[in-house]
Amino acid sequence: MRLIVELDGSVHEDDGVYKKDLKREKDLEKLSYKILRYNNQWVYKDIQSIWWGIVEECKKRVEELKRG
């Protein structure tokens, strides 16, 4: 699985944009991508939590690779 980290601004709260995001996410998941989506405001307020979330996903991937 490949990892995509997406930082979303307020435009992604729009219903039409949100629906396009979901479709794109489903299409990418079919191609074995994992998407971590974070709101820009959260990034500004708590970048450390974002960082650790990404680190944890990477650790999971390493374990998956070890198992074969």
pTM over 0.85: no
pLDDT digit string, tens, across residues 17-26: 888 988 999 9
Domain residues for the domain of 56 are 2-67
pLDDT digit string, tens, across residues 27-47: 999 999 999 999 889 889 999
**Cα dihedral 26, 30, 34, 39 in deg (nearest 10):** -10
Considering its fold, how many domains does the chain have in total? 1
Sequence-distant (6+) residues with CB within 8 A of 3 are 33, 34, 35, 36, 54, 57, 58, 61
